[in-house]
Each structure stands twice: as C-alpha cells, then as structure tokens.
Amino acid sequence: MNNIFSKKVLSFFKCFPINNTSRLFKPTLGRRTGFNTLTLKFGFNPLYVKGFFSASLLFCITSQIQRVKAEEHEGDEFIKELKEHLHEIIKEQGASSKDAAKIYYNLGFAYAAKEDFKTAIAYYEKALAIIEKEYGKESNDYASTIAAMAPIWIMTGYSKRAIEKINEAIEVKKKLYGKNHNEVAILYSNLGGAYFAIADYKNAIESLKTAQETYSIHDGESSTSVISTLINISACYDRLGDKQNAIKVLEQAQQKLKKNKYLDPEYERFIEAEIKRLSK
C-alpha cells in the first residue's frame, strides 16, 4: 500500500492554524471584500463572504504529503487513493472506525481544496460524528475538526450551525490552552465571520473584539491578525450605519500598519480607500 496512508501521515489530530502566511486578496466590485479562508500555498481561488475579510481562519492540514499533492494539482488522484483506502478500512474495521474517521477527514480536506464544499462538508460531518463518539465533545480532536469545518459551514450557508459548533470548540480550547491562546482567537474570528454572514453585526463585533484582544497578546499589537480583525470590526460598524466608529477603527488599523513591515501594501491602499468612502 502506498505509504501516504501510514498512520503517521493520516494523523489529522496534529492540525495547525494557517494565519501568518495569508495574503490579502484585492477587494472586488463595490463593497465585496476578499475573504480568504483556505490560505494555503497551492492556490485554489479565495472564498468570499460579502463585505468581510479575514486572514486568520483556522484550517487544518493533515500532512505535508497532502500539501505537496495539492500543489502538484493531483487532487483527483489523491481522492481516488483515499477512497480506495477507505474501502479497505470499511471492509476490515467498519464504516464507523477511528481510521475511517481519518479518511473521511482527509476527503473533506481534499474536496475543500477542489472547492466542492458540499461534498467536503458531507465527509467532514461523518468524521465529526465518529470523533464525537470515540473521543467526546471535550476532546481537542473534536474541537479541531470543528475549527476546520467552520469556514466551509459559513461559505455554504450553514452559519447558524457554525455558530453553535464554534462556541463548543471555543470552550474546549479554553480549557486546554487558556483563553489567550491563538487557536481560541482564530475561533472567535470564525465566530465573527459566522455572525457577519447572517447580518448579526453586534454579536460579530463582540466576537471580533475578543479575537483582537487575544491576537494582541499572542501575536502582538501591530500583527497582521490584529489589523485584519480591525478591518472586519469596521465593516460591521459600517453595516450598522455607524460610520464614525467604522472610520475610528480603520484609523486604529492604519496606525498599527505603520509598525508592521511585513504586510502587503494592498492593506494600506484598502484602508485609505475605505476611510475615504466612509467620510463622504
């Protein structure tokens, strides 16, 4: 059997956030702003939620092998291999085994990379059900799987389910790592995106401010994650018709931007354009 299916490679419990390598996608028509959720290097198109940008949503990668295969545009071959391996596991262990959960999770990842989000969600849901049964809702495995699924729930119109599950994951991560951990901040950022998607801007602001506070502690006051979150908070105030606070928050982001030497210049142009638009 191909060694990419070794237990070491398929151990999806070693997930990590991708939030420091993201790049800002240029704002598109009107007020529709880039919302880049799956910020991996192999270049599938960015996803969008109207008006909301984030460079800090959590997405879990199961192995370096997956990244390499995706970069080589071998997604279809990878999916075929996964399904062949799944068939063997189901024959040997059953469709609800822990190893089957790993394959379901990997298939969710692979279909997300292909932007087939409905299929991705179906496989992720299968994985989540097994993980809940085998490891429990208090496990890191359960919370990390929710974190991986959250952006796709939001993109496919299941924001209310995302809100419910993200809140569960937040409590687990807080117990495991404390409230000031980066993974907790990313989940709050996800939560803000989910509230934004259903036009609950007040709760979005509350979630994003919590994310900002944690990012400030973990990543630094002028970090990319803080600046991105401030942009999102401003967008929420804008939707509420509170242009004064929208501008104020963007000006805070603008000041922090001067201390950040690594951000794409597009950030500065975008913030300047938004302040100009809101000032009219």
**Is residue 244 predicted with pLDDT exceeding 50?**
yes
CA 229 to the chain's CA centroid: 13
**More reliable by pLDDT, 128 or 64:** 128
**pLDDT of 278 over the 70 cut:** yes
- Average pLDDT over the chain reads 75
- According to the model, what pLDDT value does residue 7 have? 30
Q: Which of 37, 80, 187 is nearest to 195 (CA)?
A: 187
Give me the pLDDT at residue 239, please: 92
**Position 47 pLDDT exceeds 50:** no
pLDDT digits (tens, 9 = 90+) for 171-180: 999 999 999 9
For position 150, what pLDDT does the model report? 87
What is the pTM for the complete model shown?
Answer: 0.74
Which pLDDT does position 156 carry in this prediction?
84
Instruction: Write down the residue that tokens 């951000």 correspond to.
Output: 263
Inform me whether the pLDDT recorded for 133 exceeds 80: yes
- Residue 172's pLDDT is 95
Q: How far apart are CA 220 and CA 203, in angstroms?
A: 24
pLDDT at 161: 93
With bands split at pLDDT 50, 70 and 90, how would you rate the model's confidence at 74? Answer: low
- Express each pLDDT in 6-37 by its tens digit: 232 222 222 222 232 222 222 222 232 222 22
Direct distance between the N- and C-terminal alpha carbons of the chain, in angstroms, rounded to an integer: 64
Give the Cα separation of 241 and 105 in Å (integer): 41
Residue 48 has pLDDT above 80, yes or no: no
Q: Which has more confidence, 179 or 51? A: 179
- Reduced to 3 states (helix: H, G, I; strand: E, B; else coil), residue 268 is helix
DSSP 8-state secondary structure symbol assigned to residue 265: T
Closest to 218 measured CA to CA, from 37, 21, 15, 19: 19
- What is the C-alpha to C-alpha distance for residues 95 and 166, in angstroms, rounded to an integer? 26
The proportion of the chain whose per-residue pLDDT surpasses 70, expressed as a percent, equals 73
Residue 67 or residue 159, greater confidence: 159
More confidently predicted of 119 and 72: 119
Listing DSSP states for 59-87 in one string gives: -----HHHHHHHHTT-HHHHHHHHHHHHH
Alpha helices per DSSP H over the chain: 64-71, 75-93, 98-113, 117-135, 140-155, 159-177, 182-197, 201-218, 224-239, 243-257, 266-279
